[in-house]
Amino acid sequence: MSVVTKNFISTNDRDRRITDRLNEIFALATGKRWSDIHFESLEDGSAEVRVRIRGRLKQLEIIHPDDAKLLINKLRYRANLDVSDTRHEQDGRFVQEFEGRRIDVRLNIVHTNFGYSAVVRLLDSANAGIPIEKLQMPEGIEAAFRWGLSQREGAVLNAGPTGSGKTTTLYAGLNSKNTEDTKIVTAEDPVEYILKRIQQIPVGEGTGRTFSSALRAMMRQDPDVILVGEIRDAETASIAMRAGMTGHLVMASIHANSSLETYSRLQDLGLPKHIIGASVRLFIAQRVVKTVCPHCRQKASVALPEVFNDSGVEVPGWEWVGSGCESCDETGYDDRMAIFEAIKMTRPFRDALGDEQAMEAAARLQPQYQTLRTAGCNLIVSGETNSLEIDRALSEGLAG
């Protein structure tokens, strides 16, 4: 259970300096929308503080050895963790408030040869309530997503690597279904955001539950909508797909590189073609890409023209790159947005299942379908991002 306090509290004169600094660090990270803060022991007993800014780690400061031990204990106290346990990995969470915004903080501590590595992930609760129209989906893909969510039964599957924004998209879908007359139950590892009225079941290490065991329990909860945080094994895949065939709308994320590859992933998990065809209503895949900072952007030659290969998009004469400025923390990038692709389980696509070329041909008949590569290249042409960033995002998926 999270301890709902607004900030770190000093308990004596000795810890006031580190308490004040922690509050300043969290306020800075929240205000600038940094995603993670790393506190890591160094050989001399000090602690390095690094922050992840738009996907890149950057040193913020070095904490003096006198304060480094106090720092880790302050984090443990906030998360209700045992301060005397210096041997085992610890996981906890707490809430930080900044200018009226609630920030859910996930904390993980592992012990290292010099002391500890503590990482906190900052989850802005505002992201839990984002409506579908704020996802910046192309019109056709948004229509396909809403169509999938409108079905009384069946599965909507969202594919991509870790950090590709799948949770934000699925939560937006859940929020669109979250009405008084709809029972929604989720299984998540871990529960990232607290959602009003939705029954969220944590699974994974320390909970005594797996996705498959939680799914079996959920089926006895009389649900209308089910969210599975990740389909990662054969049993979970089987239960989820059968739930989608028996009067439930199932939303789930899955580790696959594209909408087309999601079918292969389900087959790898042992699902036969007829079950996939009968249960799945919509395949979605996505990546998150950084957008070029408008304050320091400048025109440059296209760094990686080969990114446009097989995209159907002509290589432009130039692209925007950011030189780095105070506004973007010297990264050259200002914000992030998602690129999507989506395939509806139409009759032609269902008939093509199992034949990779036929599946791709059937997908291309759908007006909303474009590959992630095409979506990314269109963003380069429109000036939102550049070829280096699209190459990174697509390579991340292949590596994952």
Fold classified for 130-399: Rossmann fold (3.40.50)
Rounded Cα distance between 156 and 283, Å, is 6
Contact yes or no for 25/7 (Cβ under 8 A): no
Secondary structure of 357-385 in HEC code, one letter for each residue: HHHHHHHHCCCCCCCHHHHHHHHHHHCCC
What's the distance, Cα to Cα, between the start and end of the chain in Å?
A: 32
Main-chain dihedrals φ then ψ at residue 157, nearest 5 degrees: -110, 130
Fold classification of 13-124 is: Beta-Lactamase (3.30.450)
Regarding pTM above 0.95, the answer is no
| Closest by CA position to 55, among listed 378, 334, 381 | 334
Q: What are phi and psi of 252, to 5 degrees?
A: -155, 150
Q: Are strands 333-344 and 280-292 parallel, antiparallel or unpaired?
A: antiparallel
Structural contact between residues 225 and 247, judged by C-beta atoms closer than 8 angstroms: no
Residues of the chain with CATH 3.30.450.90: 13-124
In angstroms, the Cα distances linking 400 to 19, 116, 161, 254 are 38, 27, 6, 12
Region(s) of the chain under CATH 3.40.50.300:
130-399
Which of 214, 252, 207, 208 shows the shortest CA–CA distance to 232? 252
Q: For each of the chain's 400 residues, which pLDDT tens digit applies?
A: 444 567 888 888 888 999 999 999 999 998 888 999 999 999 999 999 999 988 889 999 999 999 999 999 999 999 999 998 888 999 998 988 887 788 889 999 999 999 999 999 998 877 777 899 999 999 999 999 999 999 999 999 999 998 899 999 999 999 999 999 999 999 999 888 888 899 999 998 778 999 999 999 999 999 999 999 999 999 999 999 999 999 999 999 999 999 999 999 999 999 999 999 999 999 999 999 999 999 999 999 999 999 999 999 999 999 999 999 999 989 999 999 999 999 999 999 999 999 999 999 999 999 999 999 999 999 999 999 999 999 999 997 654 3
**Residues 109, 75 contacting (CB under 8 angstroms):** yes
C-alpha pair distances (Å), 315 with each of 167, 295, 341: 32, 24, 21
